[in-house]
Amino acid sequence: MQDIDAFAAIASTYEGWFTTPLGRFVDQQELQALARLLSGIDPGAVIDIGAGTGHMAAWLARRSHQVTAVEPSSAMRHEGVRRTAGLPIHWCAACAEHLPFADARFTGAVLFTTLAFVTQPVQALQEAVRVVRPAGWVTVGVLHALSPWVALYRSRADHGAMPWVAARFFTPEDVEGFIGAAATSSTEAVYLAPQASAPFAEADGAGKRAGNQPALAILQWRKSA
């Protein structure tokens, strides 16, 4: 990740987004999309790379995965440790580009909205593939560069708002280029605009019909056996 800790000032309030009506809807849509890709995958040893405050790590742990949560921001990691106390999650201070684990250590890897905040996305993906066992999987959630949500994030970055000033955004095609292969499977979520009002499900459907790019694209690769 970036040398500057872009998340330090917001770590304590980061999870507040998920308690808002729009945040709850977006979170539900994103997790349902992720669940579709992970359906049929048995619980195993999973590494959550760029785990932040542990939102995804906790979701994975509750689905019976044994989770290693990797997060370089000390502020976010501290909040994550506090929030996930009591869950079978091992926390590790490391960056996505240099994972301190042996080859083939995990059955699966998740990078959920992480690539926007790493300095070397290609290396981060190579590391994720390296630590996954043969026949394992790598799942990447991408903040879609052409979505209305990223347009908002770019505007906030222009005004100096953290963490967006440190972010770079990609399309799903960019990520497939980084990893050097088309995704084995993929799905998308959240087509409504950030300014949408309830009922959100109707707004989401309208956004999709209008041709909005999804806020989140989720790509999955299976590693060769």
What DSSP assignment string belongs to 32-90?
Answer: HHHHHHHTTPPP-EEEEET-TTSHHHHHHHHTT-EEEEE---HHHHHHHHHHTTTSSEE
pLDDT of res. 2: 41
pTM equals: 0.94
Confidence bin at 4 (pLDDT 50/70/90):
low
The residue behind tokens 């979505």 is 147
Residues 6+ apart with CB under 8 A from 168: 116, 121
Higher pLDDT, 32 or 1: 32
Average pLDDT (130-159) is 97
- Domains of the chain plus CATH, in order, are 11-222 (3.40.50.150)
